[in-house]
Structure 1
């Protein structure tokens, strides 16, 4: 059965989400069918940028990021035909237009991604405080929540739901930082606030030692426990915002929130052993949480 280029582009985005975002993709299965393609397109775009910045997809990531932004701006100005050769850009351009998503959220996101690029004037590999880290997360995480909000829909004016949507994006990002400490160290980055680490006697050399040995020093363990508590506070701040969403999407967002917060619990269960392997929520629990939300609809 034939399909239009746009339909094919959305299917490709769905495959990207299924392959790379297991927790994310499972939560989207609880969304109504019309919303899923748009959510997959937003995920696939973020993944495309991540591949440029972090996974060596291009020899000159800065130039490629500039090219990608220029093509998206042109497509939004003149129509999606200009990006027909790129399924992800085609789908995300349609999603932005269809759901009236503010393009500024995408420029904010791309600015934050340039902060990850060595050689960029915006590059940062360390963050002195949570305030500095939050400035990065304004683009890398909060902007993602704000991109999603028009797709999900709200029962209040959109602006009233935006702070909680941004907070949930931040909670997810902080969870990723705690889970991915080892991978980030391998890239020469530390996405944990230095002043919080210093309060527990932790510095970059100690983190590097933990990475080399695969063992978590007691000082690092205490720092991680503190930062997990901080992150749980962000989840609590975001949680009331779920009730501001369209009732039909609440189970999906609650599932995503519960599964991501479950990563924190898994880190604790493993006694903060984050330097040798990655903490993940197992398939049985993911399915159990999703089923619980599905039954509550």
Structure 2
């Protein structure tokens, strides 16, 4: 019998992201590294699955401390923390908020807590902190403090920061640990470095800023489910591909703001001012390959999370289509979006069955 608590393999804290298992992938002009082979994911599956199993199969973790909130006062505090996290996704993302509504209550609260921590870190390096007057050095210190507080909360089960507390409650319940949080914070830290990206650097950045977030969500989706090692590897690869696709689509959609407001170019080798339609479409070919790889893993997800992920996949697939239809020069002054009626139709299609939004 396969361990009923096994989840997708995590990755080591090495600065080089492990390759996604799809050796046939070639890379677009952006220079991001394509997936290479499945050996890395296969070799880490047993150890990480055992770690997640021990974290979620009982009420106590390896340290003997509870892995989720217990006791009336702590439960009340945790409920307030989770409600705070839900407010963050409600304010910042209609797309992910819509997809999250299709999740069951437990998965919804866990995914929103993951999103909320990611958003807080992003605001430190991309927006609110700078507008509040924090110089780069202070932003870096604040980010370091957030990472340290997150690790403390995962260890102790408590934080005075409600968003961190909500994330830690999720992490302790699902087995999320520094193997996933460290690459994430490293990528956030990279946003404070003005040096241009090269091919290896952008691959590492996408892994930490997006792919590990997909792996975190997968740990929530696969609680109390049974999957074979081969299925876990496919789900892990699909989660990473979907996270990468989301990030790359956002990069292309937001090239004007990233360049003008933040001085960034996430597409090494591409001059954003002179980008041609052919270059843009080559970038989109890479994104479509990620979306296709993610779609192949969808049927392996539990039904509730499958519908939610299908909604998110459909929303970003629609964005990719719109980006392909938009002239490259227009992206310097236009932010492509999916209309609210379109979002509703995509969600309805996903609720009726995975892939229905394509019909």
TM range (shorter): 0.7 to 0.9
The secondary structure found in structure 1 opposite 2:152 is helix
The secondary structure found in structure 1 opposite 2:245 is helix
2:226 matches 1:173: no
Indicate which of 175, 179, 183 corresponds to 1:100.
175
Displacement after TM superposition at 1:165 (Å)? 0.8
The secondary structure found in structure 2 opposite 1:34 is helix
Greater relative contact order: 1 or 2 (C-alpha under 8 angstroms, separation 6 or more)? 2
Q: Deviations over 1:144-186 (max 9, x none)?
A: 1111111111652444421111111001111111101011102
Could you say what the CA RMSD is over the residues aligned between the two structures, in angstroms? 1.9
Indicate which of 98, 109, 112 corresponds to 1:37.
109
The secondary structure found in structure 2 opposite 1:278 is coil
2:356 matches 1:286: no
For the structure 1 residues 5 and 239, does the alpha-carbon distance in structure 2 shift closer, same or farther, using more than 3 Å as the test?
Answer: same
Distance 1:78 1:40 in 2: 21
2:319 matches 1:263: yes
Q: How does 1:138-149 map to 2 (within 5 A)?
A: 138-149=207-218
Displacement after TM superposition at 1:141 (Å)? 0.9
For the structure 1 residues 277 and 24, does the alpha-carbon distance in structure 2 shift closer, same or farther, using more than 3 Å as the test?
Answer: same
Normalised TM-score (structure 1): 0.85
Q: How does 1:63-142 map to 2 (within 5 A)?
A: 63-80=141-158, 83=159, 85-117=160-192, 123=193, 125-129=195-199, 131-142=200-211
CA contact (8 A) 1:155 1:245 kept: no
Displacement after TM superposition at 1:27 (Å)? 0.5
- The unaligned stretches of length 5 or more in structure 1 are 118-122, 198-202, 211-216
Displacement after TM superposition at 1:191 (Å)? 0.3
Displacement after TM superposition at 1:56 (Å)? 3.7
- Structure richer in helix, relative to its length: 1
The answer for the alignment partner of 2:62 in structure 1 is: none
Distance 1:289 1:24 in 2: 12
2:276 matches 1:220: yes
The count of aligned residue pairs is 268
